[in-house]
Structure 1
Amino acid sequence: MNGSTLQKTAADCAEELPGAHLEHPFGPDWEVFKVRGKVFMLMTEVPGRPVVILKAQPGEALALRDQNRHITPGYHMNKKHWITLEGGDGIDTSLVRELVTESYRLVVANLPGAERPVDPDTYAGGTRASR
């Protein structure tokens, strides 16, 4: 998957998630997707390369980075809790959708119960498998 397809796939997935919306708080070069005011995905270009930045469980983030050279620590984010995806071998539609949905679920899980648009423990959102 190339970088522009990566970003389109990630944006399409994010727009389908309940309560998610797009903002541009850092200017037109950054697309920031939030749920109930909390960031779960950012998209920009890092010297000319389109990237998607997502929240991840620390252990999963480490495993993903070890398994795929196109997944690196979160650009301008906490390196333990965020990952950056670039287009390339091993980055496919199902993986992107799974990682976007997981990022969303992690953020929703930290919201007060009354503000959660979905139950993060049961929401699968079209991913390959519910965790």
Structure 2
Amino acid sequence: MKYPTIHEAALSLKGATHDYKEEWGADRFFIGEKMFAMLGTNKEGRDILTVKVEPNQGEILRSENTAIIPGYYMNKSHWVSVLLDEENNAEFLAKLLAHGYEQVLRKLPKYRQKEIEG
């Protein structure tokens, strides 16, 4: 596991699960059956963390941090990718993962939210 702090941060979120998509070479993180983050590489072979965000939040993040680009192979307004060779602040990445988790959790049916939240 190349980025244990990312795995730990993502899986510390209540009800979060993980799988590995071999065809993509990517670790995927879910809440319910919906993905909120993915850890993999882009076409240049650079390590990236792709996370679900609010559309306006994505624009703000990209304008403030050059390591953040539109979501790689995702909807560019709802996802951002972080170039991990340029941004490796564990606290920032954990907050970004928590934001993505919340975005997806709020879209789940109320009964699923209650199941997950306990």
- Fold in common (TM above 0.5): yes
**Aligned equivalents of 2:22 and 2:104: distance in 1?**
20
Q: Deviations over 1:62-81 (max 9, x none)?
A: 01001111000000000000
| Aligned residue runs from structure 1 range 23-102, under 5 A | 23-25=19-21, 27=23, 29-46=25-42, 47-88=44-85, 91-102=88-99
Please report the TM-score for the alignment, with normalisation by the length of structure 2.
Answer: 0.87
Please report the TM-score for the alignment, with normalisation by the length of structure 1.
Answer: 0.79
Mean Cα displacement is larger for which, 95-104 or 109-118? 109-118
Q: How many residues align?
A: 114
User: Pairwise CA RMSD of aligned residues?
Assistant: 1.9
Query: Which runs of at least 4 in structure 1 moved beyond 6 Å after TM superposition?
Result: none
Kept in 2, the 8 Å contact 1:32–1:42? The answer is yes
Unaligned runs of 5+ in 2: none
**Aligned equivalents of 1:10 and 1:50: distance in 2?**
12
Percent identity over paired residues: 25
Amino acid at match of 1:118: E
